[in-house]
Amino acid sequence: VLTVGSLVYMFNKGSTVVSSDNRLAVQLSPKEKDMVLGEMRTILAAVNGVLHGVAQNDLPATASAAKSAGMAMAVDATPGLMAKLPLDFKTMGMQLHKDFDALAADIDSKKLNQIQIIERLGTMTNSCLACHGNYRIEAVVTTSPTGI
């Protein structure tokens, strides 16, 4: 029971400490930090692509940009990395990927006009603001004992 309780606690809390700016610092290895920040850059590129697609009245390009940040890009996370991320961080991230897929599908099915696409994107980026307001990513380098 204690082991299961500890695992549930870590699944929810992740590997975090309070940072100097009072956000939760998610402590990852340098490689894991690069992975998470790379995913964030992909999401930012998708937002940029959606905006450019709308501005150019190119709905296929808009849908393609939205789909690039969908659930398909979220499959690369390793179980070790997922264990280090707090539950709220994971929940917001997975919902954002689902929202990008839904946006792409609604654009493809012509359910949204350009204003509605921008409104939806604005609502979706509230998750980005909440996450960046609550969390920061820190690389933690651990050294193993030598000479053994």
Query: How many CB atoms within 10 Å of residue 127?
Result: 16
**Does 148 score more than 80 pLDDT?**
no
Segment 109-145, tens digit of pLDDT: 999 999 999 999 999 999 999 999 999 999 998 765 5
What pLDDT score does 93 carry? 95
**Four-residue CA torsion sign, 89, 90, 95, 100:** positive
Q: Do 89 and 14 meet the contact criterion of CB atoms below 8 Å apart? A: yes
What pLDDT score does 77 carry? 72
Segment 27-69, tens digit of pLDDT: 999 999 999 999 999 999 999 999 999 999 999 999 999 999 9
What pTM did the predictor assign? 0.86
Q: Helix or strand or coil: residue 25? A: strand
Strand arrangement of the beta sheet that strand 16-18 belongs to: 16-18, 24-28, 135-139
Q: Do 70 and 106 meet the contact criterion of CB atoms below 8 Å apart? A: no
